[in-house]
A and B are shown apart, each in its own frame.
Chain A
Amino acid sequence: MSLLSVRGLRKSFGSNVVLDGFDLEVSAGECVVLIGASGSGKSTLLRCVNLLETVDDGVIHLGSEDITDPRVDPDRVRSRMGMVFQAYNLFPHLSVLDNITLAPMRVHGRPRADATAAARAILERVGLADKASVRPDELSGGQQQRVAIARALVNSPELMLLDEVTSALDPELVGEVLDLLISLKAEGMTMVLATHEMAFAKQVADRVCFLHGGAIHEEGPPAALLGAPSRERTRAFLSRFVGL
């Protein structure tokens, strides 16, 4: 059974219909990469799944729970997922450690000592153990993004949603974040990520989905979809990326 199941999702902003009958199934442990032109709705989809947007129509299941049901508590649903944003969105007034312990303490009610220990362990893991007490703006972009991933990971989410987590980074820093995601995947983390980096998609994806016209236009394993797309629109999009 799928861990995440999106069926017939529709989302519009005013007259701009962004997602129109969108379907996506993600099984546990799978890494799905969303690609598509700017404005094709990648971020919108991730925000809908994270319940940061209310959907116009369709259903989203997380496990066996219909999370688009207005009777479910959105805060509890969100705490089962980890979301990482393109612009990191770290809290500038809190130290790195406090950024990470905020949710465990306030949402999950863990005692401070316990939350701090968990945060230190996760910082160790993303290679930033020595940065626990600094403010986010004293870190490089790659370090900030790794803190944002650590912040999302510390709650042991069932699903990670990553929105263009590398587009603000130079190639070397992309490597840092990529290594981290590959190791997460090896541990069986389920991930949905939006990206414009085809090389990145190639390395982490089990499946790549090309979004166009408010739905998945074409999908498949990375080698097949990126190497030999079968549909005209996909080919046109991918032809812009050199070195594939």
Chain B
Amino acid sequence: MANPPDERVDAPGGLTDRWVPSALEQERRAYRRSRTVRSAAIASISTILVVGALGWVLTHSSGWPRVQETFFDWDKAVASFPAVLSGLWLNIRVLLVCAVLITVLGLTIAVMRTLRGPVFFPLRLFGAAFTDLFRGLPLLLVLLLLGFGVPALGLDGLPQEAVFWGCAALVLSYSAYVAEVFRAGIESVHPSQRAAARSLGLTHTQSLRFVIVPQAVRRVLPPLLNDFVSLQKDSGLIAVLGVVDAIRAAQIETARDFNFTPYVVAGVLFVCLTVPMARFTDWVARRQGFQGSGLV
């Protein structure tokens, strides 16, 4: 068969070079520009007004001098900063290790729950029980049970470090959430994709691995990253086990003179840590929205 030329796609390419927008289009663009400038101006003015008013109300309240002294003491902030920052380094390491483990465990549980056939009943049951249990248990409770309970058993071979059990609690709790996100993604891939994969002779596992899961992961990336933003701050909860992370470091600094400024320092650092991740999540979501429109 001769190759039919694809005129529909190739034809317009050469014609666009000498195009000058018409007067109508130029007028429309000028209008759009003026609207953009106007909205930006309105947004800035209203922000300044609101923030200014809030600041005035706060700083003119009767208790403000005391609050300023105990929460916003600049010298105390500078003094406690190095200790809190080095505590934060632990949070970051915990976060990185947990994120990897959570992704792996979450995806495994999600895949377990989508397996069909009676042979896999125990795996499905395990997956369902796991998600039900760890989504239901408060994270703090899991932390306390694992962090204080397991080492108390005194079993040989089990690690005793509080950091280890803190991470284990984070991984178990978060994997249950992340598994549900992955499962929603897997189920959102249209059944026709599975049919196409199977009709090519791919096995169930191959269909999952090469066709279903890659599409599912792309789709759930924004909610998944959102869970990791949440993990960044929840990594501070391991402080209850006595691990010296940013929050525990702040607590130690505070204990000397009952000035709470170190907590504010820790808070600011946590926000600085999560903001880039949150912006990245937004960026991914926007990009997906754009790409997703072409698919079904």
Contacts and interface: CB of A to CB of B under 8 A. Distances in A.
Interface of A: 47, 50, 52, 74-76, 78-79, 81-83, 85, 87, 89-93, 102-103, 106-108, 124-125, 127-129, 137-138, 140, 143, 151-152, 155, 176, 179-180, 183
B206 A106 contact: yes
Interface size class of B (residues with CB under 8 A): 20 to 34
Given A83-B199, A155-B200, A127 B193 contact: no
B1 A79 contact: no
Contacts of A79: 200-201
Given A106-B206, A127-B6, A179-B1, A76 B201 contact: yes
Given A137-B294, A140-B9, A180-B1, A93 B218 contact: yes
A224 to B, nearest CB: 29
Nearest to B203: A75
Given A106-B210, A124-B3, A179-B4, A151 B200 contact: yes
A230 B256 CA distance: 101
Contacts of B198: 52, 74-75, 78
Interface of B: 1-6, 8-9, 192-193, 195-203, 206, 210-211, 214-215, 218, 294-296
B1 A85 contact: no
Contacts of B218: 93
Contacts of A180: 1
B1 A125 contact: yes
Contact of B214 (A93, A107, A137): A93
A82 B198 CA distance: 11
Nearest to B197: A91
B3 to A, nearest CB: 4
A47 B192 CA distance: 12
9 contacts: A83-B199, A91-B196, A103-B200, A103-B201, A107-B200, A108-B201, A138-B294, A155-B200, A183-B1
Contacts of A85: 192, 195-196
Contacts of B193: 89, 91
Residue among B2, B210, B214, B295 with the most chain A CB within 10 A? B210
Residue among B3, B201, B215 with the most chain A CB within 10 A? B201
Given A78-B199, A91-B193, A93-B215, 6 more contacts: A85-B196, A102-B210, A106-B206, A107-B206, A127-B4, A143-B6
Contact of B199 (A50, A90, A138): A50
Contacts of A129: 3
Given A176-B4, A179-B4, A107 B199 contact: no
A127 B203 contact: no
Contact of A89 (B3, B9, B195, B202): B195
A92 B295 contact: yes
Given A85-B195, A89-B193, A92-B215, A102 B200 contact: yes
